Amino acid sequence: MISKWEQLPLSADLLRSLSKFGVGPPNKIQQRALPFLLRGSDIIAQAPPTQERIAAYVIPAIQTALTYTVNRPPNRGPIVLMISTTVDQATQAQRMIRDLGGPIGIRSALGVGSSSVGSDLNQEVRLLQQSIPHIICGTPQKLHALFTSPGGLVGSEVRFLVIDEVDQLIARNLHDFVFNIVKLLPPPRSRSIGPSTPTGTPGQGNFGVFESGLLSPFPNQPRRFSGVASPNPSDSGQPERQTALFSNTVPQDVLNLASAIQLREPVRVLVRRDGNVTHADTNQGARGLRQFYLYLAFTAGGRAEPLPATPGGGLGIIGSGRSASSAETAQAKEWKLDALADLFDDIDVPQAIVHVGGMNALDSVVYKLASRGLEAVPLHGDMNAGTKLAALNKFRTSTSSIMRQPVTKVLIVYDVQVKTPEVSQIPLVINYDLPKAVEEYSSRVQPAMAPNHGRAGVVVNFVTATGGDVEMLRSIECFYKIKCPEVPMSLRDIV
């Protein structure tokens, strides 16, 4: 088991940078993933979304960039590409690269925000072309626009592809952007790493404590994806791509995506969640947080009809059973909006936060609540820093009651964390759409917690009959060791 960075094959410059910035010794995910990544293996890593997980791919990314810039001509395109589902994760990764890699000559860039084609996007592309970053981090939509727009970034130089939060990426139906980007990258490894690659059963080999058995999840099964080109094994002179997938959970959809983008004998790395280790004070008994669920019996999930089986079996498709559109689903979404608006009719609070799962839901909720006389303030990941600050200031500013009656202010949030220094003592937090990963739940409910001995707020989780809401609520209860009862007939008595 490695316990020091010096035990890894890292450059002297990178080791000095790690020491300078006071990075602690390798933790579980870093101990398990880094030896394989630095050896060139493809991996599928399952671990909680923490700063340590980000460092587990940022450090080998910087090492890769250093390797391919020493005594080589200037790069025509990025050497490392990092795709994160959320703006927050992409921003954290780029900041870490800037802090660790910037002083040793590694250029990085962040690709987030609006992805619409126009003068702003063209200007971003021109700026990137003037000083090609060694590493670029971003969200799927924005990176897709930067690579596919006229005169966009060149993908043929990418040697290391990282996709973080893969389960959330699939849940949000963003995988097609990834497939289109992968088409522009070098093919995956077509040959083995060498005799040092572990080939034994899990728990054996040089890194015996790893769950390191090589994964071949789909032997002798035909692919159901035609969008990603197959590599040419005979062309040994062309550049090759190493790929690392990081995910909170690894359901079948994640394995399907791994096969679709053709990971080569990926090593499985598992870091088990140690019970309620993150934000232990989100326990219902701690600091008085009161958490409930509101069950909506209509079918808002909109599952698609199952597809016919492929002859000889098959992988299934990513996101199968999601996002079917129909008149019934549209009606169910309208009923869900009505339920949210009715809930606010039943209570009297100065402020509330509503978390949604997409931009369409955000727009619908803002419009619905505004039509009921509430002051709905949108906040989402595509906003720049100034716009986000303006939205938070608008939400925090109290409404003068001299000229008019006080109005409930509701912050509608998508794809961004609302941290307690920014807002606190919120009496009501509503998960209109449940998070896609249990780890998100703690940050969502944080503003409702009592700072000291004050009265904590109320959390209401909307649960629909389909779409995996019931399973997600049960997962949240198990992970945080809480029990959410059904919401009482009148919230006025408890808020």
Q: Do 5-270 and 280-493 agree at the fold level?
A: yes
435's tokens = 């998070």
In sequence order, the 6+-apart residues with CB closer than 8 A to the CB of 2 are 8, 26, 31, 34, 35
pLDDT digits (tens, 9 = 90+) for 19-70: 998 888 998 899 989 999 999 999 999 888 888 999 999 999 999 999 988 7
| pLDDT the model gives residue 326 | 64
| pLDDT the model gives residue 304 | 31
Is the model more confident about 281 or about 147? Answer: 147
Domain boundaries along the sequence of the chain: 5-270, 280-493
User: Which percentage of the chain shows pLDDT scores above 90?
Assistant: 41
| Mean pLDDT, rounded, of the chain | 79
Q: Give start and end residues of each alpha helix (H) in 41-139.
A: 51-67, 87-101, 119-130
Over residues 409-429, mean pLDDT: 88
Confirm or reject CATH 3.10.450.50 for domain 5-270, answering yes or no: no
Confirm or reject CATH 3.40.50.300 for domain 280-493, answering yes or no: yes
Most confident of 276-280, 292-296, 456-460: 456-460
| pLDDT the model gives residue 212 | 29
User: Which percentage of the chain shows pLDDT scores above 70?
Assistant: 76
Contact 418, 326 (CB under 8 A): no
Over residues 86-92, mean pLDDT: 91
Q: Classify residue 77 as exposed, middle or buried by CB count within 10 Å of its CB (0-12, 13-18, 19+).
A: buried
Q: Say which range, 77-86, 261-270, 314-323, 405-414, has the weakest mean pLDDT.
A: 314-323
pLDDT at 88 over 70: yes
Tell me the CA distances in angstroms from 247 to 22, 84, 269, 299, one per residue in order: 26, 10, 10, 28
Over residues 209-235, mean pLDDT: 33
| pLDDT the model gives residue 140 | 94
Helices 87-101, 12-20: crossing angle, 10 deg rounding:
110
pLDDT at 309 over 90: no
44's tokens = 């599928």
pLDDT confidence band for 246 (50 / 70 / 90):
very high
pLDDT confidence band for 121 (50 / 70 / 90):
confident
Give the H/E segment covering residue 334: helix 327-345
- Residue for token pair 């820093």: 385
| pLDDT the model gives residue 46 | 86
Backbone angles phi, psi at 300, to 5 degrees: -90, -5
Distance separating alpha carbons of residues 252 and 437, to the nearest angstrom: 15
Distance separating alpha carbons of residues 438 and 422, to the nearest angstrom: 23
Q: In the Cβ-directed half-sphere of 298, how many Cα atoms lie within 13 Å? A: 14
Instruction: Summarize the chain as % helix, strand, coil (round to 5).
Output: 35, 15, 50
Q: Say which range, 164-168, 271-275, 416-420, 443-447, has the weakest mean pLDDT.
A: 271-275
Distance separating alpha carbons of residues 437 and 475, to the nearest angstrom: 9
